[in-house]
A and B are shown apart, each in its own frame.
Chain A
Amino acid sequence: MHRNPRLAVDFLGISMDTPVMTASGTFGFGEEFEDFADLAELGAVVVKGTTLYPRRGNEGVRIAETPSGMLNSIGLENPGVEYFLQSILPRISKYHMNVIVNISGSSAEEYGKLAERLDVPGVAAIELNVSCPNVKDGGIIFGTDPKAAAEVVAQAKKHTKKPVILKLSPNVTDIAEMARAGEAAGADALSLINTLMGMAIDIRTWRPVLGNITGGLSGPCVKPVALRMVWQVAQAVKIPIIGMGGIMTAEDAVEFFLAGASAVEVGTANFCDPSVTRNIIRGLDAYLKQRNLSHISELIGQLKVDKE
């Protein structure tokens, strides 16, 4: 039973109470936020980037606050897909949330293997992270080369019946080209943006703040870039888009829907306010009501660019 007729959506065949999801790496496995967010009301929880084998992540300082945002260089620390399947997935099933697994590999074949292992009940879809700027042995190359990205999508599609979402990196010159490559290779949807590569320097020590030297920028400071990219991608492809990057409020989310996103992911904002998704959902509903709209779909891609 959907609780809210204005916000309930069927996205990639997944029945969602709302089109508001949480972004990978910012919301753990959902359970960490059980006291603050209504997990079942979220469209989905996109869980932490998962790899074939456990990863320890990067050493040293992993985050830095920046104006209206933050840098992170976690480095894909995760317990590996087998642990996820054996211990975590069964544990979080009690929350009745849609679980989307974000995966990362160092070869197209590895993405295929991960997709295959995750083709199990309890997983709603997989999101391909081809754009993690924080690991050296992979990720980034698939995120910046359209052919490599297409190969990753093809491998994943070949090995799973679940919907496959390709998550795009903003660290490219032509985001539309990456989007078209993903669509042509069979991606069911695109999500964007991942973090923008950046850095911070400590002027007392003349050293980088982050142990990994560079990291990924997220939060409200990236929103204008994210919106522009969602808009460009929406012009370039027909498959649905999940928009993200700096969404803090319902108004921010509305901008993404207008630019062409069919759903949104909320990331860094969860650190500032662990119940932010609740407020965004309430706010979206209030906005639709106030504008006399009966469903969120009436916003999608409705940006007016013609001269009146």
Chain B
Amino acid sequence: MALPKVAIDTEILWNTPVGSDVYELTVQGGGIVTQAQPGQFIHLQIPSGDVFLRRPFGIADTDENEGQLTMYYRVMGKGTRVLTALKRGDVVNCLGPLGHGFSLNAKRPLLVGGGMGLAPLLYLAKRFRGKADVLMGGRNRDELFWEKIFAPYVRKTFVATDDGSLGTKGFTTELLPKVLGNEAYDCVYTCGPEIMMRGIANIAAQKGVACQVSLEKRMACGLGACLSCVCDTANEERKKICKDGPVFWAQDVFFAQ
């Protein structure tokens, strides 16, 4: 039985920039916190008459003792811009936890994240209690403020930047074969731009390592009711990213078309 989802007014504890145009948003998360699983997301109502639909953000961290729930967001358009103006004490309505998260069975997990895709992977890293390694990619040093944030929760960190300003110059897909060659990982968990995830999933498949991916699509309800967010699957059936995902086994959603 699925645990109940809730839509609750949450108080903002902090909403602070952590990189250029990226903010950490922590709220008093109430009942959502104890149920949240890595890979699940929150559908956030932006308190502005100009923003109509909710906006989905991955759960990046929780603190069960303090009842805190953390998300990271990049300023992309109208909704996220409005979000940046909110202050401690302001209230936002959180709907969640939504969707199905990552499998937690791996013994030797490798997390591969690109840009904001690192947000949900942070919570996964934490759950793996130091068992996981992370391979992170971004355009430049500024985008990889994540390195410090991940440090307490992971064993090894591999870094790739497009411009070489931090770590290896290039994409995560260029670094991955080497990383996989060094150790016997039993599962790759990836979140980021779809083109990156497809590349990662391909390499993992070639090396015979299981792979989970976290998909994104525009959402309205977030509850599996409106069919805004469907994706194609290997067995022809369409799946709802908000409800059946956002996390899927790579071979179920990335297949030769």
Contacts and interface: CB of A to CB of B under 8 A. Distances in A.
Contacts of A63: 53, 218-220, 226, 228
Interface string A13-36: 000000000000111110011011
Given A63-B218, A69-B52, A274 B223 contact: yes
A28 B221 CA distance: 10
Chain B CB within 10 A, most for which of A25, A69, A271:
A271
A35 B220 contact: no
Interface stretch (B1-9, B107-115, B122-130, B195-203): B1-9
B52 A274 contact: no
Interface in B1-31: 4-7
Interface residues of B, number: 27
B205 to A, nearest CB: 25
> Which of A25, A56, A57, A272: most chain B CB closer than 10 A?
A272
A70 B223 contact: no
A17 to B, nearest CB: 21
Contacts of A219: 52
Given A57-B238, A70-B52, A70-B220, A273 B228 contact: no
Given A62-B218, A65-B53, A35 B226 contact: no
B220 A72 contact: yes
A28 B224 contact: yes
Contact of A28 (B93, B218, B223, B229): B223
A191 interface: no
B223 A77 contact: no
A53 to B, nearest CB: 14
Contacts, number: 84
Given A35-B4, A271-B54, A274-B95, A62 B227 contact: yes
B144 to A, nearest CB: 26
A275 B227 contact: no
A64 B77 CA distance: 13
B215 to A, nearest CB: 14
Given A65-B52, A69-B52, A77-B238, A270 B7 contact: no
B45 interface: yes
Contacts of B82: none
10 contacts: A26-B225, A28-B224, A28-B225, A32-B221, A32-B224, A35-B6, A57-B230, A70-B52, A77-B227, A77-B230
Interface of A: 25-29, 32-33, 35-36, 48, 56-57, 61-70, 72, 74, 77, 219, 268, 270-275
